[in-house]
Chains A and B, each alone.
Chain A
């Protein structure tokens, strides 16, 4: 017997006479398609959404306040946690902001090593993103197989940095250590494996009629809209705007490398899926070029005792093209042993908290998870 307050007959009567048209649905971490600890409170009529209120806060860890209480170098072990699948852009943007204020130069080999780690991080994030796209519509095979590919990159990260997920590899002035013996060779082999698997991903996900039909028309964004909402990265390029921070505001070794930026256009979820698929392939080619061009020499400019490391008073904004778009750090220093203020610009905020008001109303509940996956909404970067 259930301990419900209503008997079965009473429940039947309630269902028969219920005149509510609109219900509130908490689309939160308990939903299998939700990315991370975040939620939308949806007003639904039947299966159609009529209103949306984003509900962040479940994931708030107070990074910006914590950063003001830790030394400049300690913070490098804290910030990769702001984005789990793509952590390295955080380290790079933070270090670049410090280097701008100090006028610190990174030696050429250090810049190339940063580029390698950033591009590997992009690959591993795209693998997760492409897998998640399929998983959002029940195609888990892609997710499992792509996580397997991602693990090959994690092994390389572990070999180079000592850590699989949060690498804590960059320092103001360069990187923490040089490439181990045999590492580049292994990376080339892994790149061959990743490229060899691509036709299979195409058959499984990108040429799959179910996936194509399901993604077509979800969350359309025009180029003007993408710019005014502040969308960046693959989302902006999938809307047809030619913009990439690696070319427009170059950092690391990108000015010396030929960066291909595929432009899909079209602006819906399918265009965004194809965009990351093309960028994945371009990233593999870019990594091969980096491995061919990497110079010798020092990989770090000495910064002295890290416990006594200070940054002169001033402020700077530095941005990095992550797999989801612009990761920006505005760092303010008062000359002390700790940052005075660090403000983080996560790439998911424009879509996750602003564009949702425009896109979700009118959409079916089933499409919300796909919409989030296609725009790469990663809540930890706005709910920090």
Chain B
């Protein structure tokens, strides 16, 4: 099956998603957040059984967070990036930890670094940061310099 035929098939099976081809062997699929789980589960059944990772991007100017899932099909040798967007205020995306065991760990990481909630994921307590009480640090409005000044105060000393 050529990549164009595959794109057509994925678009047919996921109404409501926008599918486009890129970079020779990749598909990009933009899914509404309510279809996130059904889209990923449908793709897994269609042969995209390898989840490379889940990632998050903070589009602060559009006041949105974007979730990315990178999937790979060992048999078809095609890569799919699934994207969905949620508002920055109280973001929540349904969990996919039942589809891939390691997806729960990626969600836990995104919860910690971007503050996205994953209803249904039983393990969302912090893992990497110790006693973190500030903004989730990978959000664009978290200022590392300002944080260092507040937490350690050494930048003022250097300037004196």
Contacts and interface: CB of A to CB of B under 8 A. Distances in A.
Given A316-B23, A354-B105, A60 B53 contact: no
Interface stretch (B6-14, B30-38, B84-92, B122-130): B122-130
Interface string A235-249: 000000101000011
Contact of B68 (A228, A232, A343, A358): A343
B149 interface: no
A353 interface: yes
Contacts of A328: 52-53, 70
Nearest to A225: B101
A326 B74 CA distance: 13
Interface residues of B, number: 35
Contacts of B144: 62, 65, 69
A345 B129 CA distance: 19
A383 interface: yes
A377 to B, nearest CB: 13
Does more than half of chain A's interface fall in helix, strand or loop, or is it mixed? mixed
B70 A227 contact: no
Nearest to A224: B49
B94 to A, nearest CB: 19
Given A69-B144, A353-B105, A317 B128 contact: no
Contact of A249 (B51, B58, B79, B102): B79
Interface string B37-65: 00000000000011111011110000000
B121 interface: no
Contacts of B127: 54-57
A349 interface: yes
Interface of A: 54-57, 60, 62, 64-65, 69, 100, 227-230, 232, 241, 243, 248-249, 315-317, 319, 326, 328, 330, 332, 340-341, 343, 345, 349-350, 353-355, 357-358, 383
B129 A57 contact: yes
B52 A319 contact: yes
Contact of A65 (B70, B74, B79, B138): B138
B74 A248 contact: yes
A316 B28 CA distance: 10
Nearest to A247: B77
A227 B52 CA distance: 11
B100 A230 contact: yes
Contact of B128 (A56, A232, A355): A56
A144 B104 CA distance: 39
A317 B57 contact: no
A340 B130 contact: no
A229 B101 CA distance: 6
A349 B110 CA distance: 14
Nearest to A99: B23
A34 B129 CA distance: 20
Interface in B80-127: 81, 100-102, 104-106, 113, 127
Contacts of A332: 57
B52 A228 contact: no
Pairs of residues from A and B, 9 with the lowest C-beta to C-beta distance, nearest first: A343-B55, A354-B102, A345-B53, A57-B128, A350-B102, A353-B105, A341-B57, A248-B77, A230-B102
A64 B138 CA distance: 8
Given A55-B127, A345-B70, A355-B101, 13 more contacts: A60-B129, A62-B144, A228-B49, A228-B101, A230-B50, A249-B77, A249-B79, A330-B55, A343-B57, A343-B68, A353-B105, A354-B101, A354-B102
A249 B104 contact: no
Contacts of B23: 100, 316
A62 B144 CA distance: 10
Contact of A62 (B49, B72, B137): B137
Contacts of A341: 55, 57-58
Contact of A227 (B55, B58, B74, B129): B74
Contacts of A357: 101
Nearest to B49: A227
A316 B127 CA distance: 28
Contact of B100 (A57, A228, A319, A330): A228
Contacts of B72: 249, 319
B58 to A, nearest CB: 7
Contacts of A232: 50
A345 B128 CA distance: 16
A234 B66 CA distance: 32
Contact of A317 (B26, B50, B77): B26
A14 to B, nearest CB: 32
A249 B72 CA distance: 10
Contacts of B22: 316
A230 B137 contact: no
A249 B53 contact: no
